[in-house]
Each structure stands twice: as C-alpha cells, then as structure tokens.
Amino acid sequence: MVKKARSWIQFCALLIQNANFKGFATGKIYQGAGKNVCVPGLNCYSCPGAVGACPIGALQNFLSSRPIRFPYYVMGFLLFFGALLGRAVCGFLCPFGFVQELLHKIPFPKKKPEHFRLDRPLRWGKYLVLLLLVIILPMLTAWTPTFCKFLCPAGTLEGGIPLVLLHGAKTNFALGLLFGWKMLVLLAVVIGSVLVFRPFCKYLCPLGAIYGMLNRVSLLRMQHDEQRCVHCGGCTRACPMQADPVRRPNSAECIRCGICVSACPTDALHLGFRERVLPADPSPAGDPVNE
C-alpha cells in the first residue's frame, strides 16, 4: 500500500513540476512568475515543461554573481524543506529520482548486488560534487552553472533532448562536445539505474547531500522500537538505499520511502512527524485476571 501510494505521489510531483505542457510543442522555456520560486526536487530550469527553478541551479547563480550575493532565499528554502522532510523530498518529490526508479524496474539478469566493493566510498561523491561543482567552482570561475553544465543528467533528459528532437532546427542549441559529454553522462546514469537502485541519488546528487545532512534533525523521522525489534534483518535487506534502520534509523542515506516499515514483521519501525507512544507493558501483578 505504501509503495503504491508513493508511486502516485512521485508521478503527481513530476507532472506538477513540469506542468507547462505547451512548452514541449513551442520549444520555449517558461519564463513566468513561477520561475522565481524553487521546486523541492532536482528538476531542470531549462526543461520546456518546468514551471519552477531548480534549487541547485539557483544556488549556483547566486554564488557566481559579481559581487557574490549570499543565497538567503535558496538556503532558507533548502533548510525549510530539509528540516521538515529531510530526504523524503528525494523519495517522494524528486522527478529525476522517480525516473531512476522506473529504469530500475527494467528486467536485467545481472543487477548489481546490494553491497559491492565501491558502494560505500562512492557515497561520498555527492558531497564532493556539492562542494566542488555547486559551491567552489561557481564562486571562482566563469563556468557557471558548473554542475548544470557539466554533470546534471536531469537537464539533458528534461531539457536538452526534448528541445533537440522537437525543435533542433529552430533553436540555437549547441550540439558540440559539451552536449556529447552530457549525453555520455546521461547514458551512464541510465545504464547504472537499470543495474543499481537510484545511482545518481546515492553517489552524485548534491541536493540529496544537502537533504541527507538534515535527516537527523528533520521533523519527519524514523523511529525504531528496540523492545519490539527481533533483529531479523528484514528491514535492512528490504532497504533499496542499503541503509540500516536499526542501527541508524535517520541515516543520511534514507529517502523515507517506507519500504523498511512495510517489511518489518513486528511493527518495530515507525515513520512520521510525531513520535509514536507505545503502550506500557502490563505488570503481571496488576493484571485484573489474576487478582
């Protein structure tokens, strides 16, 4: 039930954040008032259907301005959603995360195991991307927005490819080395998504890095009840992000998908805004049946 509901929420979030459907027909990017407001997930500003701004792109634009302007609005926006939902934004509201999940449903005989040798070291990649491509290089160079130009596959999928296929002859889109590189990045992410669950989210997404750092303090929290837990390992095996809900219920890798909650046979995990208050165990001495 949770899985089905989450899929519908993800689908609706994808449509709402890309509601400018006529943009695909005209080849024009929406420039209305909505572009002054960020959307929670990774959704390219240049997508013909996008009705809002990507927070990572907006952050880079602030940091690349001269003189540099502190991104009060963007930081406030990210802190608000991060403190409220944590990485539930990734699990429910991010269009590109939803695309990766759909790709992972494609049958393939040799999908990567849950834990492979480079999995844990690669998890630090998203923090490196955040520091280098989103913060340092935009502040120091003219290659802005650096992350969007050189790495973000969402921009290629949502903006580049539709514009080239539908309106290539009518646009000034540069089909040069940079576009070729971005296509290679997208191809790698697509193939990786078939083999590994949400590889871009796990290893490269700077937005996931920001929200992940706020998981421990977000109002939406995972609660583990040690008294009910039988340590069967079912929740850990079920987690598609390879987090451990028993040892670290609010891990930075947890996208709050709720799959572990459904997998728990003893109802020892709870995901919600309010801490679950469990009934106290009745004392044998106070049992009215025995009195």
How many C-beta atoms lie closer than 10 Å to residue 13's C-beta? 21
Same domain, 252 and 144: no
Report the CATH number that the domain containing residue 260 is assigned in CATH: 3.30.70.20
Exposed, middle or buried, 252 (CB in 10 Å: 0-12/13-18/19+)? buried
182 is a domain residue: yes
- Beta strands, E only, 182-246: 221-224
Same domain, 196 and 252: no
Print pLDDT tens along the chain (291 aa): 567 799 999 999 999 999 998 888 887 888 888 999 999 999 988 888 899 999 999 999 999 988 888 999 999 999 999 999 999 999 999 999 999 999 999 988 766 666 678 888 999 999 999 999 999 999 998 778 899 999 999 988 887 787 777 666 455 455 678 888 999 999 999 999 999 999 999 999 999 999 999 999 999 999 999 999 999 999 999 999 999 999 999 999 999 999 999 999 999 999 999 776 655 544 444 443 333
Q: Give domain status of residue 23, yes or no.
A: yes
- Say whether both 18 and 46 belong to one domain: yes
Residues 257, 143 share a domain: no
Q: Are residues 182 and 271 in the same domain?
A: no
Residues in the chain: 291
- Count of structural domains within the chain: 2
Same domain, 226 and 205: no
Distances (CA, A) of 169 to 94, 160, 164, 166, 175: 31, 13, 8, 9, 11
* Cα 187–chain centre separation: 19
Domain containing residue 30: 2-104+117-166+173-212
